[in-house]
Amino acid sequence: MLIIDDILLFPIRSILWIFRELHNAAQQEMENEAESITAELSDLYMMLETERITEAEFDTREKQLLDRLEMIQERNTQIEDDEDPDTPEA
């Protein structure tokens, strides 16, 4: 009986496994994106200190990077809230 159950449930388990892997890959991609933006900010500060860019260029690029980083953090917070139903809502 167990073998028949395994055979019948195999397609469903496979699909669930695929969705879990896709979800994990997407989360990893978001984490890598945040690390990449942080590295870009570090490079940007170095360029400003070595006077390879002007203050105006620095301010513009820094704002863009910080906005992207903030969007990623908000998205991560929203995902965490969606995954944790025990969290009380405000």
Give the DSSP letter string of 8-37: HHHHHHHHHHHHHHHHHHHHHHHHHHHHHH
| Segment 3-24 mean pLDDT | 89
Contact yes or no for 68/37 (Cβ under 8 A): yes
The domain spans of the chain are 9-36
CA distances to 4, 24, 70 from 7, in Å: 5, 26, 46
| Segment 9-24 mean pLDDT | 92
Residue (of 62, 56, 63) closest to 44 by Cα position: 62
pLDDT tens, 28-82? 888 888 889 999 999 999 999 999 999 999 999 999 999 999 998 888 788 778 7
Residue (of 78, 84, 75) closest to 31 by Cα position: 75
- pTM attached to this predicted model: 0.61
